[in-house]
């Protein structure tokens, strides 16, 4: 059985215009609210957070030419096995599992679809699925713009599961406001959106619904379902009941730091490492009942097998 991954990682960011002439501690506390002021103060003093690779005081005024580094200890599950549905000349079509991000992102350096399949090889996601969504995902290792051109008019079919008796047919054309980093919502001030919904089956209080997005806005199907009063099962962001809580483990970090010269710094890093009590482990089994089932384009048709929750 493969062990889960553990490693040290150093984030690096250049000082932004809005940080100019502000104190380091002030910027960290305001901009990165997942950590406490006490943590940042201690991390600066121990050299876990540095400016231009040097230990500085929390009151250090920042300049535009400065860079800030932050060393952390990471824990991730082993990269998952990914089912390849088709290998084409410029891209592959895969069946993305729920609970796995498409590509490396905050807190996920290895536990992702692209890392699992391609390692450090440079690739690009032609389409993206939200982390708790499963189904067809297209990855190119050649020319992204060419692949995007091929699928721009693709017919995309999703399968969703909702509570209650869904209508036989509904077309929704409600506009959606899309603001980066914020929850999307229906509003006349938003962008044009259209989704076609068709009932597949109903059983034991649940409906299985075919969803065809005509436009391609972020969270479009999820938001349009919510607007109809049928939030997708497990989709707690857009109105369904709270999903089953993942129990946190007792596996706090016990990494050996004896080999490091700067023991004070690494003691601080390990002291503040939560081990496996993090996003990658807690979200590993989280899914919403939405599956990218079928893509049709360029004379080709690809289908991803239905997940277990489709069997109602």
| From 120, 130, 204, 298, active-site residue | 130
- At residue 258, the 3 state secondary structure works out as coil
In the chain, the N- to C-terminal Cα span, in Å, equals 34
Closest CA to 30 of 21, 19, 20: 19
- At residue 307, the 3 state secondary structure works out as coil
Closest CA to 233 of 309, 173, 295, 298: 309
For residues 11, 16, 18, 21, the Cα torsion angle rounded to the nearest 10 degrees is: 90
CB atoms within 10 A of CB 208: 20
What are the DSSP calls for 183-194, one per residue? --EE-TTSB---
Given a contact cutoff of 8 angstroms between Cβ atoms, the answer to whether 159 and 211 are in contact is yes
The Cα–Cα gap between 150 and 158 comes to 19
- Please indicate whether residue 90 is annotated as part of the active site: no
- At residue 170, the 3 state secondary structure works out as strand
Catalytic residues: 130
């Amino acid at each position: 059985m493969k062990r889960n991954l553990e490693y040290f990682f150093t984030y690096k960011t250049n000082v932004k215009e809005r940080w100019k002439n502000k104190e380091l501690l002030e910027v960290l506390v305001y901009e990165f609210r997942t950590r406490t002021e006490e943590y940042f103060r201690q991390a600066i003093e121990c050299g876990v957070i540095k400016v231009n690779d040097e230990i500085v005081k929390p009151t250090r005024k920042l300049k535009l030419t400065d860079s800030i580094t932050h060393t952390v200890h990471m824990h991730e599950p082993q990269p998952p096995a990914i089912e390849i549905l088709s290998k084409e000349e410029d891209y592959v079509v895969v069946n993305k599992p729920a609970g796995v991000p498409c590509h490396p992102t905050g807190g996920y350096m290895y536990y992702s679809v692209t890392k699992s399949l391609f390692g450090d090889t440079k690739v690009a996601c032609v389409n993206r699925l939200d982390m708790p969504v499963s189904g067809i995902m297209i990855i190119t290792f050649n020319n992204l713009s060419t692949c995007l051109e091929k699928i721009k008019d693709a017919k995309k079919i999703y399968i969703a599961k909702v509570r209650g008796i869904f209508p036989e047919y509904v077309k929704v054309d409600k506009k959606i406001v899309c603001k980066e980093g914020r929850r999307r919502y229906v509003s006349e001030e938003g962008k044009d959106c259209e989704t076609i919904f068709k009932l597949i089956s109903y059983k034991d209080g649940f409906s299985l619904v075919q969803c065809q997005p005509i436009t391609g806005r972020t969270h479009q199907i999820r938001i349009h379902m919510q607007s109809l009063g049928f939030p997708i099962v497990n989709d707690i962001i857009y109105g369904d009941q709270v999903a089953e809580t993942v129990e946190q483990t007792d596996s706090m970090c016990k990494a050996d730091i004896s080999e490091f010269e700067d023991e004070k710094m690494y003691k601080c890093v390990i002291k503040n490492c939560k081990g496996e009590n993090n996003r990658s482990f807690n979200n590993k089994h989280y899914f919403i009942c939405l599956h990218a089932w079928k893509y049709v384009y360029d004379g080709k048709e690809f289908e991803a097998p239905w997940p277990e929750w489709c069997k109602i």
